[in-house]
Amino acid sequence: MRIMKSILSASEFKATCLACLSEIEQSGEPVTITRRGRPVAILGPAKHTVLKSPSNSWARKGRIVGEIVNVDTSALWEVARQE
């Protein structure tokens, strides 16, 4: 891959946009885009945010009340009458 210049005219950027984006992604160096010799934009790599792991997001947020295994829930159900 060729080394991209750090300053590109708008027409050069338009012609090589995808290659420019790939170069920025790999090198991490920003590129200044000019129009008629004046800088109009700086294109650089996106900032990666570190995602917080949700594995402990519910830790110590609830509590168990009573028995949770082998509970008799028969009183909660209607008994079907056999007629």
Q: Which two tokens stand for residue 50?
A: 């570190």
Q: Where are the domains of the chain?
A: 7-43
Instruction: Give the predicted TM-score (pTM) of the model.
Output: 0.53
What's the CA gap between 16 and 22, in Å, rounded? 10
Determine the pLDDT at residue 5.
76
CATH topology classification for 7-43: YefM-like fold (3.40.1620)
Within the chain, residue ranges assigned H as helices are: 10-15, 17-27
pLDDT value of residue 47: 85
Positions in the chain short of pLDDT 70: 1-4, 50-53, 56, 79-83
The pLDDT, as a whole number, for residue 83 is 60
